[in-house]
Amino acid sequence: MSTPRPAKKRRGRSVAAKQDQWTDLQTSPNLQSQVAILVNTITDGAVRIVVAKVFADLVFLLDYLSLVDANPRDLVRVRDRLSILYAVRGEANALVDFIENHALQCEGMAELLRETLDGSAYAIKHEVRRILDGELAEAKDAQDEQKVYGLLLHAQGVLTNCFQQCMISLARVFDESVSGAQLFHDWQIRRERSLLLCEDLTTLTELIQDSGQKSLDYIAAHLRAFKEGSMQWLMYKDWQEYEALSEQVLGSISQGDNPTDLLHRLGCYLETLLAHVKTRGVLAETNESSAVYEEVAISW
């Protein structure tokens, strides 16, 4: 079943009126208008058309992905959302084909722009194949809708991050000062959530690694608090593993045992999880375009 394209958002004031108003855009972002400002700085007509097409396709892909609701407890129309992701695959593959077979052949293109477009095509092709042809393939026949929705959220997060990072990299070819917070209205929120998640994971990891310094009841309270609090900012696919490991620890404590081995296992898992969270694109401090493709697989 084909899914109709979402209607394009209306612009407010004209692009011309916003030509030099980056400050306003930072507080009231309009992605299409910001893209138009960057595109209008390109003097070569052929290059401008190519770049405008790539930007427009990336904006469309992000809009399409936003149709996959980020509420993991809402299991309504899961199969429709799955069809959206497979529609995204077709559009993304078409964009890669355009970049490789048309954009990169455009004469008069600066080398930095050519390298950036080539890197974007590689990143998109790699992530679409890995996620939609690989990890999400099992969702087709899965009967557990909760599991399917977890896979959907993971795929949405990974692809959203990939497309956003490609947009940032391309925008910086024309304006090195561009940041994710300028382009995407949710960037700062996602950054703050990730910082809080890192802080809580660090505290929990240290507590478990030094479990001999605190009572088991104290540790149990913190495990439950994390589940009710910042665990929601983890990728959904990590929820079940944390819950499974922590429930084993909590069950052992409730029975009056000292779950030393279970605590060690949970501590190792949390340490690995923290390392992954720290690589999220919203936490990256570097402006170098090469960093864009290092961790396109980590999202929110």
pLDDT of residue 53: 95
What pLDDT, on a 0 to 100 scale, did the predictor assign at position 14?
34
Is 60 exceeded by the pLDDT of residue 38? yes
pLDDT higher for 87 or 154?
87
Please write the tens of the pLDDT for every residue from 54-72: 999 999 999 888 887 645 4
Say if residue 291's pLDDT is above 50.
no
What pLDDT does 108 receive?
Answer: 86
pLDDT level of residue 3 (50, 70, 90 thresholds): very low
The predicted-structure confidence for 243-277, as pLDDT tens digits, reads as follows 889 999 999 998 888 888 899 999 999 999 999 88
pLDDT tens per residue, range 86-133: 899 999 999 999 999 999 999 889 999 999 999 999 999 999 998 888
pLDDT-based confidence at residue 299 (cuts at 50, 70, 90): very low
Give me the chain's average pLDDT, please: 78
Q: What is the mean pLDDT of residues 42-49?
A: 92
HEC sequence for the chain: CCCCCCCCCCCCCCCHHHCCCHHHHHHCCCHHHHHHHHHCCCCCHHHHHHHHHHHHHHHHHHHHHCCCCCCCCCCCCHHHHHHHHHHHHHHHHHHHHHHHHCHHHCCCCCHHHHHHHHHHHHHHHHHHHHHHCCHHHHHHCCCCHHHHHHHHHHHHHHHHHHHHHHHHHHHHHHCCCCCHHHHCCCHHHHHHHHHHHHHHHHHHHHHHHCHHHCCHHHHHHHHHHHHHCHHHHCCHHHHHHHHHHHHHHHHHHHCCCCCHHHHHHHHHHHHHHHHHHCCCHHHCCCCCHHHHHCCCCCCC
The reported pTM is: 0.67
Q: Quickly state the pLDDT bin for 18 (edges 50, 70, 90).
A: very low
Q: Which of 66-80, 166-180, 221-235 tops mean pLDDT?
A: 166-180
